[in-house]
């Protein structure tokens, strides 16, 4: 606290005490200690007694009249002793800090104790689930790619820089792809227009699901016009050895999955059921044939991907739509490709399949793309009418038209394939479908 100051002419500038404060309340004016802290001024009783003895005949001085705004208040002379007793002691000067080596407030054997609140350090307890949360500290996921993985290995795990954005995205995609299935699930891939990439999308979806899921996945070519799904997955020669027509002839002979495996082909972990390559025989593939094959596959497989034909009113296409749980529509960022995909949407919605279109996934294949097309308009159009829109970028390996090797894709095309599989797999649970389950294709116990 600063000391009283004087003006240049020697006048003391310290403000005077109010006139209504008499000598009996002089204790209320704090004095200043040596260290600048305010300490209460004491009123020695002996001094007052001595003054009363030495001047017995002197009448007590009458206090000055109080200002008008204080006239209604009780006099402070009589209340001073009581107020002095009730007034808390002003804070004294801070004492010197004790030595850290010998704390004075705690015994020698006792350290800093816990908080006084007994609930302060208790983990959260969920009364409904009975789960005690907050017990195990969360750790960063171990990076498996790039310089982050190298840094983690070189430091023996002592420095974990965490996952990169790309690796975190990949983990999220794989987690969605592995969504459990309560039973067999039918995914139909279709489009009105041919040569737009429908078979390529079917192959990529099947490869991604089969590679990263632990259950059985099969892709079936239901194109009545000599489909090429087998060509893109196992090659033309092998695809022609056994087809869906051979399976239909042997339906009564199949009693186990090992019997069925003799009529399918293997592309990585994906089972493939190819279509008949002879035009005369493939044209006879009807809705009844498709339903017979689908009922058999639903007994042994969890995810069934159907590469349908371009004729949306064809009998086999009608059968695949009738039993579909999920729908993937393929289009292109071109005037004709987008208009055909939009026409597919309108036809399905007008013919009893609105539930499929509202939950559909649209894939725009960028094998054909022109700078004269505003593809944003196309994407926005489909985004307002379906669940998701996936862009498949151009890829030299896919454009070659040979057997698809998932590891040979560019990073962008591979990411698009995984995003497609993850988006489709999100519909495996939590959505009411009108496909296999509603038509009794899901037997008790599921695939075996």
Residue 42 located in a structural domain: no
407-445 residue pLDDT tens: 999 999 999 999 999 999 998 886 666 666 555 555 434
Q: How far apart are CA 149 and CA 158, in angstroms?
A: 12
Contact (Cβ atoms closer than 8 angstroms) between residue 387 and residue 423: yes
Q: What dihedral do alpha carbons 369, 370, 374, 375 form, nearest 10°?
A: 0
Residue 394 located in a structural domain: yes
Nearest Cα neighbor of 364 from 297, 440, 416 is: 416
77-109 residue pLDDT tens: 444 444 444 455 555 555 555 444 444 444 444
What mean pLDDT is predicted for residues 32-56? 47
Considering the domain architecture, whether residues 202 and 246 belong to the same structural domain is answered as: yes
Considering the domain architecture, whether residues 286 and 348 belong to the same structural domain is answered as: yes
Considering the domain architecture, whether residues 145 and 203 belong to the same structural domain is answered as: no
Percent of the chain beyond pLDDT 90? 33
Residue 393 located in a structural domain: yes
Residue 435 located in a structural domain: no
Provide CB contacts within 8 A for 278, sequence distance 6+.
226
What mean pLDDT is predicted for residues 133-162? 76
Considering the domain architecture, whether residues 187 and 152 belong to the same structural domain is answered as: no
Considering the domain architecture, whether residues 412 and 341 belong to the same structural domain is answered as: yes
pLDDT at site 106: 44
Residue 116 located in a structural domain: no
DSSP string for 122-180: PPPEETTTTEE-SSSPP-PPPP-SHHHHHHHHHTTTS------HHHHHHHHHHHHHT--
Q: Whole-prediction pTM value?
A: 0.66
Nearest Cα neighbor of 300 from 178, 443, 140 is: 443
Q: Which residue has the higher pLDDT, 24 or 64?
A: 64
Considering the domain architecture, whether residues 169 and 213 belong to the same structural domain is answered as: no
Residue 306 located in a structural domain: yes
Considering the domain architecture, whether residues 150 and 215 belong to the same structural domain is answered as: no
What mean pLDDT is predicted for residues 156-183? 86
pLDDT at 132 over 80: no
pLDDT at site 385: 87
Q: Which residue has the higher pLDDT, 187 or 85?
A: 187
pLDDT at site 109: 44
Contact (Cβ atoms closer than 8 angstroms) between residue 320 and residue 188: yes
Q: Which residue has the higher pLDDT, 363 or 8?
A: 363
Q: What number of residues does the chain have? A: 448
pLDDT at site 284: 67
Q: Which helix or strand (DSSP H or E) is residue 48 part of? A: helix 45-54
Q: Name the domain count of the chain.
A: 2
What mean pLDDT is predicted for residues 255-263? 92
Strands 270-273 and 303-307: unpaired
Considering the domain architecture, whether residues 150 and 214 belong to the same structural domain is answered as: no
Confidence of residue 55 (pLDDT cuts 50, 70, 90): very low
Sheet holding 326-331, edge to edge: 265-267, 270-273, 217-221, 303-307, 185-190, 326-331, 361-365, 388-392
Q: Which domain holds residue 348?
A: 182-428
pLDDT at 150 over 90: no
Q: Which residue has the higher pLDDT, 19 or 380?
A: 380
pLDDT at site 80: 45
Q: Give the Cβ contact number of residue 70 at 10 Å.
A: 13
Considering the domain architecture, whether residues 265 and 291 belong to the same structural domain is answered as: yes
């Amino acid at each position: 606290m600063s000391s009283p100051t004087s003006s240049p002419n020697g006048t003391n500038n310290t403000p005077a005490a109010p006139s209504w404060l008499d000598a009996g309340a002089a204790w209320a004016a704090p004095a200043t200690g040596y260290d600048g802290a305010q300490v209460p001024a004491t009123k020695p009783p002996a001094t007052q007694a001595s003054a009363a003895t030495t001047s017995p005949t002197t009448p007590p001085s009458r206090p000055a009249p109080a200002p008008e705004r204080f006239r209604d208040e009780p006099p402070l002379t009589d209340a001073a002793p009581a107020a002095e007793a009730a007034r808390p002691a002003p804070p004294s000067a801070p004492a010197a800090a004790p030595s850290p080596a010998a704390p004075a407030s705690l015994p020698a054997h006792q350290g800093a104790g816990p908080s006084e609140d007994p609930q302060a350090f208790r983990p959260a307890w969920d009364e409904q689930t009975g789960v005690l949360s907050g017990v195990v500290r969360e750790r960063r996921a171990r990076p498996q790619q790039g310089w982050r993985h190298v840094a983690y290995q070189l430091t023996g795990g002592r420095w974990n820089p965490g996952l990169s954005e790309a690796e975190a995205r990949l983990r999220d995609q794989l987690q969605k792809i592995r969504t459990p299935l309560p039973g067999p699930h039918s995914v139909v891939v279709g489009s009105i227009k041919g040569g737009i990439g429908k078979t390529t999308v079917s192959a990529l979806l099947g490869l991604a699901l089969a590679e990263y899921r632990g259950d059985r996945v099969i892709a079936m070519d239901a194109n009545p016009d000599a489909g090429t799904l087998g060509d893109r997955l196992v090659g033309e020669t092998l695809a022609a050895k056994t087809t869906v027509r051979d399976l239909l002839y042997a339906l009564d002979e199949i009693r186990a999955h090992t019997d069925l495996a003799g009529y399918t082909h293997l592309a990585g972990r994906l089972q493939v059921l190819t279509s008949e390559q002879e035009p005369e025989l493939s044209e006879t593939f009807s809705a009844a044939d498709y339903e017979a094959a689908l009922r058999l596959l639903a007994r042994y497989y969890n995810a069934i991907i159907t590469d349908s034909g371009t004729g949306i009113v064809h009998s086999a296409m009608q059968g695949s739509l009738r039993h579909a749980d999920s729908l993937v529509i393929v289009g292109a960022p071109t005037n004709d490709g987008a208009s055909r995909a939009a026409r597919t949407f309108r036809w399905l919605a007008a013919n009893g399949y609105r539930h499929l279109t509202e939950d559909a996934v649209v894939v725009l294949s960028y094998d054909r793309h022109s700078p004269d097309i505003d593809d944003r308009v196309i994407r926005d159009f489909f985004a307002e009418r379906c669940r998701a829109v996936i862009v498949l970028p151009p890829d030299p390996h896919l454009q070659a038209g040979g057997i698809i090797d998932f590891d040979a894709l560019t990073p962008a095309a591979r990411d698009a394939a995984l995003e497609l599989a993850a988006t489709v797999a999100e519909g495996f649970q939590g959505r009411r479908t009108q496909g296999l389950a509603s038509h009794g294709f899901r037997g008790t116990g599921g695939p075996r």
